[in-house]
A and B are shown apart, each in its own frame.
Chain A
Amino acid sequence: MLDVDAVILRYETQDRVITAIDRVSIAVGPGERVVLLGPSGCGKTTLLKAIAGFITPAAGSISLHGAPIRGAGPDRIMIFQEFDQLLPWKTVEANIAFPLRATSRCGAAEATSRATEYVGKLGLTGFARAYPHQLSGGMKQRVALARALAMKPDILLMDEPFGALDALTRETMQDELMRLWDELRFTLVLVTHSIEEALAIGDRVAVFTAHPGRIKAEIAGGVRAVDAEFPALLRRVRELLAEDQPPA
């Protein structure tokens, strides 16, 4: 479905050109949960932005359903780490309905009813008429998730969506995401630097190395911290990531 083929991503700083992603290929099939895991600065977020269409690859190709990606579009909805991705002038319900209306996907009535449906799915009932500034960080990310899922995108892109949350809320949100996936079976590409999060959420985890960003290994995830195989897997990923760390 999503095909990333030998993609090179570069960006310019004042005095030089930096290669963030170097010849990365990865294919994501329908209903898969793929996690891009790596240290800060390995270019995983840049790759996600390229999939979203915010950045154009210097070489290689990214295609969805066989058609190359040209620019951003509502078939790939991205969820960011920042809480202020919600529109502060709209209520929770109006935030969820906004992209449905802005993309002319739904009429006003259908947008509202679908927004109400996803308010319920994400446990936001009672907050439907609240404004974003009245919500906690975890609630805001719930709204962002509801807004994205209500669009029923071909692929959901998440850029460290729970990175700014406290540890407890973070785990709750991970469970919530898995519960929603069980229900809706969306296709997910999630970026994180937390090994635990990657192993819990991804059924495939692509481990990145930095400078330049490359995929070093791909391992099977779907393992929670309470599972028996978790410690061994955790150690393996740590070793993979540690090999590239410059000696301290």
Chain B
Amino acid sequence: MNAQWRWLGGSTATRRLIIVLLICALWQGYAAWLAQPLIFPTLTDTIAAWLQGMSSGELPRRIAISMKVLLIAYAAGTFLALALATFAVLTRLGADILSMLTAMFTPLPGIALMPMALLWFGFGPSGFVFVLIHSVVWPVAINAYAGFSGVPAILRLVGRNYGLGGLRLVALILVPAAFPSILTGLRLGWAFAWRTLIAAELVFGVTTGTGGLGWYIYQSRNQLQIPDVFAGLLTVIAIGLIVESVIFQAIEFSTVRRWGMQR
């Protein structure tokens, strides 16, 4: 396998670039051959639509709407998850409550709560925030709790030796010691929230009157601006990739890898 790839260039980045270029060429070639821009636009048309959307300020506006909702929900969900995990690691009751809640709510997709969220919170971003918090809180909480439970007993003893207990033990010892696990939870929570948000906007964007990226995709399709649909989809992918492989990667390298807690 390696030997066959070596002639293509040594680095992973090069090989990946080649794969991306190949996919682009296939896309362009197939769409041009198909010649039905309403079904499947060419890559060049999509890029043109994307550039147009970006320069007109339409796409950035939609991205900003989606990101704002997402960040509020992500921050609130993470805070709630850490609070639950802390309660769970400090008390038996908390542990029982957390394991019950995660077992119950993990199988429930956030989007399934959307119809009720609209009734409860009215039209507006609050319903989205509620549903996204649901998507974030369980994966983060369960991973944080697993991380807390897996902290070596010796580190707890060291903390107790310095008179640390309760919240201070959690904040100063358990959170950093469990950070590899917490980071995994944060990544999962992000991925769930991002997908849930785009899906919820697609289906419920009109009712809430908040037109984020998902709603942009749906709206463009209704107006048969198919290159815009694809530009929207590409944007969803691009943002997902940037968050995962730039932001989370940077956090990973400046924390758990630097500390030698993960290789």
Contacts and interface: CB of A to CB of B under 8 A. Distances in A.
Interface string A34-76: 0000000000000000001010000000000000000011101
A103 B259 contact: no
Given A131-B258, A132-B260, A133-B259, A85 B162 contact: no
Contacts of B259: 88-89, 131, 133
Nearest to B156: A54
Contacts of B168: 102
A169 interface: no
A98 B163 CA distance: 12
B152 interface: yes
A144 to B, nearest CB: 9
A181 B244 CA distance: 52
Interface string B233-263: 0000000000000000000000100111100
Interface in B137-164: 152, 154-155, 157-158, 160-164
A102 B177 contact: no
Given A54-B157, A89-B179, A102-B172, A73 B258 contact: no
B201 to A, nearest CB: 38
Interface in B26-45: none
A68 B108 CA distance: 54
Contact of B164 (A89, A102, A132): A102
A77 interface: yes
B160 A72 contact: yes
A84 interface: yes
Contacts of A8: none
Contact of B154 (A73, A85, A134): A85
B176 interface: yes
Contacts of A88: 177, 259-261
A134 B260 contact: yes
Give the interface size bracket for B toward A. Answer: 20 to 34
Nearest to A99: B162
Interface string B156-198: 0110111110001000110011010000000000000000000
A89 B176 contact: yes
A178 interface: no
B255 A84 contact: no
Given A85-B154, A85-B155, A88-B260, A72 B161 contact: yes
A77 B160 CA distance: 10
Interface string A100-144: 001100000000000000000000000000011110000000000
Q: Interface majority SS on B: helix, strand, loop or mixed?
A: helix
A82 interface: yes
B157 A102 contact: no
A1 interface: no
Contacts of A76: 161
A234 interface: no
Contact of B177 (A73, A77, A80, A87): A87
Contacts of A77: 161
B176 A82 contact: no
A131 B259 CA distance: 6
A52 B164 CA distance: 14
Given A74-B161, A89-B177, A102-B162, A80 B154 contact: yes
Contacts of A99: 161-162
A87 B161 contact: no
B155 A87 contact: yes
Q: Among the interface residues B162, B163, B260, which one has the most CB atoms of the partner chain A within 10 A? A: B162
Nearest to B176: A89
Contacts of A78: 157, 161
Contacts of A87: 155, 158, 173, 176-177
Contacts of A54: 157, 160
Of B154, B255, B258, the most chain A CB neighbours within 10 A belong to B154
B158 A74 contact: no
Given A88-B260, A131-B259, A52 B161 contact: yes
Contacts of B152: 82, 84
Given A89-B259, A131-B260, A103 B157 contact: no
The 3 closest A-B pairs by CB, nearest first: A133-B260, A89-B176, A72-B160
Given A74-B162, A133-B259, A133-B261, 4 more contacts: A77-B161, A80-B157, A88-B261, A131-B259
